[in-house]
Structure formats: structure tokens, C-alpha cells
Amino acid sequence: MLVILLIPSYGLRIDRVTKLLVAFASLVVLSGLINGSSLVQIFMFMRYVVIPYLIYYLARTYLTPERIRKVLGLAVVLAMLQLPIVVIQRLFAEQLLSLNQSNIAIIPVDFVYGTFYIKSDSVLSFFILCLLAFILFYNEQFKLVRQ
């Protein structure tokens, strides 16, 4: 969410992606109102619009070839942190679930998601697979991270 701090410095860029995400946000709000969702539910679902936009904005504004090495290094560190966290979540799922203060119903199988959103084991898998594919198939570019 620190990307929001870049907006005053670099300004908002209204391009095709921004227009599509605004259209998607409008559709989310309209759909929520038609289906009788509460404003809280609509607001919570907006994270699926805001977070992709912030990632896009960060990539478009901040990432340069010189900075890609740092980002890849951070992705590798983040990936390496997932295994110990997932193991702890798997071994102590019942105990950790008893500390759950949210109204989200979680079963032990869904509790293994690393440092990603609750019930986001598929996102964790996709992140790791993409990083592995990058390491395996783009060896020349990955030398940037090894340096």
C-alpha cells in the first residue's frame, strides 16, 4: 500500500488500464447495489480492483531495468520465507485457528497460505510457480539476482 505515496510525486496516469479498472470498479459497485450487498462488502471486494491497479502503477512508474534486480531479489526472499511459514501454519493450524478474531470461516485445509491473504493458497502456488519458471527458463536474466 506504500505505492499510494508515489501518486503525489508521479501523478495519476490515465491510460487504458486505468480506464478498464475504473470500469471494473463501477461494475463491482453496481453489481453490489443490485444484489443488495452492504457497503462494507462492496468496499472489501474493491481490493480486487485497487491492489492490481497499485501493482500496475508501481510497475509502470518505478520499475526500470536497474531496479528489476532488487525486485527479483525481494521476490526470491519472499518465496524463501513461505516454506517455514507454511510449515508452521500446517503443524499448528488448530491452535492458530483458535486465535482467529475475524468473522471469516476457515477450515484447517484453507489455513495454509503463507504470508498471502487468508485462503490464498492458490495465489501462493502461482507466485512460487512463476518465480520457479523464471529461474528455470530465463537463466540469463536471473543472473541479475545472483550478483
Between CA 135 and CA 79 the distance in angstroms is 12
User: Do 125 and 112 meet the contact criterion of CB atoms below 8 Å apart?
Assistant: no
What pTM did the predictor assign? 0.48
Q: What is the mean pLDDT of the chain?
A: 76
Do 44 and 28 contact (CB within 8 A), yes or no? no
- How far is the C-alpha of 7 from the C-alpha of 15, rounded, in Å? 15
For residue 26, the model assigns a pLDDT of 93
Residues of the chain with pLDDT under 70: 1-10, 97, 99-115, 117-122, 138-147
Q: What is the pLDDT of residues 74-114, one digit of tens each?
A: 888 888 888 788 777 777 777 776 766 666 666 666 666 66
Report domain extents, the chain.
1-62, 64-147
DSSP state of 116: S
